Each structure stands twice: as structure tokens, then as C-alpha cells.
Amino acid sequence: MDEISVLHEAFGADEVPNQAVEDRARAALQQRMSAKEQRVTSMDRRRRNRFAITAGVAVAAAAAVVATVAVVVTGGAGVTGGVDHGPAPIAEPTLGSPAKGVLPFARPASAAEYLENAAWTAERRPWTDPRPGQFMYIETLELRNKPAYENQHPNDPIRPDLSENRKIQEWWSVDGQTRAGYRNGRLVVTKRGEGGEYWDRIAWSTITAMTSPDKVPDGVPGPGSMGVVLDAFIGQYVVPPNVQAAIFRHLAQAPGMTVNPDAVNIDGRPAVGLGRIIEGYLSQELLFDKQTYQFIGERMVAIKDHVTHGDDGDNVSHRGDVYRQVIYAKMIIVDRPGDTQ
């Protein structure tokens, strides 16, 4: 069975699929993603970025451990108290306030200059190293098509007339052994290996070692890395300010980084998008606040019309179609699952 069939089976009539169904879909996606010799089509890439980009997948205890990368848990896991319908204003991301000072570039013109401003801002955030047993808390607002439509059209762009904001809350222990999220309004805490669930997380020692651009390879090597790309990594881990700054400076040196000064985030506040063109027509962007240069989200948008030919028919994209849009509302260290302050 191919991954499209798995998705159709996984996301049928129920608006909130159960964990086992979600995991089957993720496992099928990982099989395609891990085949490095196989060409990744535009449709596969959009699906990969929609399903996400941190490590985490449950498998049967007797089965081989499978790790996947995902940006946010889809379906019900992590969704709290139902769904927010329609755009809604959000507060500034709780990522710490940078100290006052003079930005490196008053009027940045290139991706490298924007990223240097972002690095300067990041390294001025207040920070206390987490204690053993503490958790990374990541709260996001994700713009998605409504479940009934998304289940039938998982690869379609976000439709303004059918979209909604979903609040996602996730807790990951710093040691990577515990994760938590809301399911049907109830906080569910799971330990790695419990009930046959396994996942991989990048070791904290690997994260804290990335203190300069030359120590931040694109593949994020080290225990549990699974080749996680930086564009995904920085939204899935709560990292020290010097590490985030090093990542931005590393990306500034990467070829093909572009600036989209007209990017707009989920609530209409102005943001600048920095990213790379993939498949020749999709811009995969990190979003930064235009005034503070804080990292606030990510999105994937078509920059020109395109037709992707597939075995199950043609997929048509139009310039301006948005396939993914996520805002990171809060990224902090907390004491236990359920804490948000």
C-alpha cells in the first residue's frame, strides 16, 4: 500500500484519528522520506512538511524502531480544547525579549543580513540552562484546512474559505524520554517504550555543542539526529540563545537563501520570510518579525504556477498558494507536562 492509500485510510470519516492510525500514516511517510536514492516529488515534499519535522513515531513493541521527523502532531494529538475557527490575533511569541542595542543592519537587504539581525536578537534572550527532568514546551498556531476537507484532500493548499487556526501544545522532556500532548481535551503523557511507542530525539549534548556556525551542519549530527534539517529543527526544540544564533548564522552562509519581504504571518502582522526555493516553485520559509527579528514561524508557499504529474493525476499549484503556515507562539522550558509558564 502506498502512502496516499495509507493517508486515505488513516484520515477517513473521523475528524480526530486515533494514535495508531496517525502512526501508520507517519510510518508510511517515513519509508518514502528515508529512501535517499529515490527522487522526492513536489507532492511528497508538501506532504512531508505538512506532517512535520521533529522526531516521534509509535510502533509495535516487536517491530523495528522507526523515527520520523514532524513539524507538529497532526490530527488530534496535541490539539487542545477543539479548534479555533478563523484567524485570531495572537500575542508576541514568548521567546524572551532581546536587550536594547544597535542592530547589525538597520535596513537589511539580503537574507544574510536579515539572519545576522535574527542571530543578534536571539543571543540577547534571557536563558537559564534546564535542569534534569524539565521539559521543552512548544505552543503553535497552525493554519489548516478543516478536517472534513483535509482528510479528503491532504495535499491541497490552504483554502481561505475552509481554513481554521489550530492551537497545538507539545511537551518534550529535555532528555527525550517523555512526550505529552492533549488528545480529546485530556493531557496524555507517554514515556519512550511505553505501550510499544518509540521515537528519537536529538541529544541535549548534541544541541548545546552547536555554538558556532561551523559546528552546525545541515544534518544536525549526533545521537538521535535522523538527519533532521535545520529549517525544521529550530522550531521543534527549545534551544539556548547562542545555539539559535549559531543556526541563523549557519543558514546565512547557505546557498540559495532568499528574502520574501511581503510574507505575512497567521494574524496579519508583517513578517519577513527567509528561505529556499525547492522543486523550482515552492518557497520554504522561516518567518521573522519585521521589527524585532525574532523567529516566529514558518510557511511554504508557491511562487509560481506549476503542474505536478503523478500516478493518481495531476496536481495543480497556483502562485500564492500556501501549503503550510505555522506560528510559534511560545517556546520555553517548564517543570512538567501541562505547565505553560
Kindly write down the DSSP assignment for every residue of 300-322, as one continuous string: EEESS-EEEEETTEEEEE-TT-E
Share of the chain above pLDDT 70, in %: 70
Enumerate the H helices of the chain as residue ranges: 3-10, 19-33, 42-51, 111-122, 147-152, 204-208, 230-233, 241-253
Q: Which residues are registered as beta bridge partners of 327?
A: 141, 297
**Where does the pLDDT of residue 36 fall: very low under 50, low under 70, confident under 90, or very high at 90 and above?**
very low
Instruction: Report the 10 Å Cβ neighbour count for 192.
Output: 18
**Where does the pLDDT of residue 100 fall: very low under 50, low under 70, confident under 90, or very high at 90 and above?**
low
pLDDT of residue 311: 77
**Where does the pLDDT of residue 217 fall: very low under 50, low under 70, confident under 90, or very high at 90 and above?**
confident
pLDDT of residue 148: 93
Asked if residue 327 has pLDDT above 90, the reply is: yes
pLDDT of residue 218: 83
The distance from CA 68 to its chain's CA centroid, rounded to whole angstroms, is: 13
Asked if residue 61 has pLDDT above 60, the reply is: no
Among 21-35, 127-141, 143-157, which is the least confidently predicted range?
21-35
Among 60-64, 130-134, 179-183, 214-218, which is the least confidently predicted range?
60-64
Among 25-29, 185-189, 266-270, which is the least confidently predicted range?
25-29
pLDDT of residue 232: 85
Q: What is the secondary structure of 249-283 as a DSSP string?
A: HHHHHSTTEEEETT-B-TTS-BEEEEEEEETTTEE
Q: Which residues are registered as beta bridge partners of 277?
A: 283
Q: Which residues are registered as beta bridge partners of 139?
A: 169, 330
